[in-house]
Every structure is written in structure tokens, then in C-alpha cells.
Amino acid sequence: YYGGEAAFPAGWKEMMAAVDKGDSGRFNHQEILHPRGWDLLNFLMDARTGLGRFREFRISNYQLMMDLIDYCRNHAIEQIMMLPDVRERVELYFQQEEKSQEQIRRCATEYGNLVVVDFRQEPTIYAGNRFMVYALFPGANISIHVLAGVKNQNTVFATGKSILNRSSNTNIGELMLEYGGGGHANAGTCQVDNDRAEEVLQALIARITAEG
């Protein structure tokens, strides 16, 4: 769109490849389990990883992203990862890595091609990259994360397709729309009253597993 390789410095090639990779979610199993370099930076800056729930960093993620716009222009990824504001996020990510994986395994239930991760009874949801569930459950092609809404006023169903097993036939956005939510073909959410949560969850499981 902006002119491709001819429009950007040659030194940006690796960075632009990382941007495309992160945008399309083209990570493999090992890159999800053991991220390094640009892959790790992608996960650190993703709000869905959840690092911000555990520490007041020196600067916000937004400010760090603004700073990185300039820094990434003239520095290699190895230098970027050594920045103090990046390092403190790296340390927290790996401090919680094992706890996050154990929590996902403990809270997950498989239903054929679907894995449901129910965090409603968890007082703390540990930080971890959003694709981890697919690395831990490679047989699933789609997931539902069940979460308590704000102040436990409702129940949230966050649904997404696996980036490792791209065989799901469900149009998630259309399915979520049926329950007052929305999204697109590959990801979406809906929120329902707590007293309807189990009924809706069972309906979602039945629909998704039937569609394969």
C-alpha cells in the first residue's frame, strides 16, 4: 500500500516482516511457547497479554509504543529488548509464564474441536500471550474464554479461532451477534446475564462442535 520494499529502508525488512507476522497471527507452536525477539515484543505490547494488571510500569504501554516508533527506526531488535522499559515487561512476562500455562490447563475443558477456558472462579488471571491456549491444546481449532464481566454483573464469552489449526467452519462474528455481541469471522465476543450464562455456553458448545 505504501510502496512495498522500495519505499522503506533495507534495514526495516526484518521489522516489517515481524509486523506482518503479528498482524496475521502467523506464529508457530514453538514461537508461542518460547517467544524471542520481535515475537516476544509483539506479545509484550499486546494489551490482551495482561501485563498491565500486575504492575504500574514506569511508563504506560501507550507511551512505550510512542517511544518505540522512533527507537525502532534506528535500532536492532536486540537493542530494543534491552531498553529498561521493555526489560521490566520481559521479566514479568516470564515470571508469570508457568503460572499462566498451569492455569489454562486447569481451567480448560475440551469438547471435540473446541476448548473452553473458564476463568470465572479465578481470583487472578495470570499474564500470557493470547495464543497460548492453542499451543497447549493443538487439537482444538477454536476456543471460548469464559470471563466474569465488570463487577461480576454479567458473563463474557470471548471466542477465537486457532492460529495453529485453521480448520474451524464457524463464523464467530455471526454466532456472537445472535447473543447480542459481534466480531468477525475469526474472533468475537458476547456478554449475557449471569442467569443465562450456562444455557448460552451449552448452546455455543453445541453449535461450534456441530460445525466442526
All cell numbers assigned to 34: 518460547
User: What is the pLDDT, as a whole number, of residue 1?
Assistant: 44
At the top level of CATH, the class of 101-211 is: alpha beta
Q: Where in the chain is the domain with CATH 3.10.310.30?
A: 101-211
pLDDT per residue as tens digits for the range 14-47: 655 655 555 556 788 999 999 999 999 999 988 8
Q: Whose grid coordinates read 454479567?
A: 154
| Secondary structure letter of residue 186 according to DSSP | T
C-alpha to C-alpha distance for 108 and 58, rounded to whole angstroms: 34
User: What is the pLDDT, as a whole number, of residue 114?
Assistant: 98
Q: pTM of this prediction?
A: 0.84
All cell numbers assigned to 82: 534491552
Residue 56 confidence class, pLDDT cut points 50, 70, 90:
confident
Q: H/E element holding 116?
A: strand 114-118
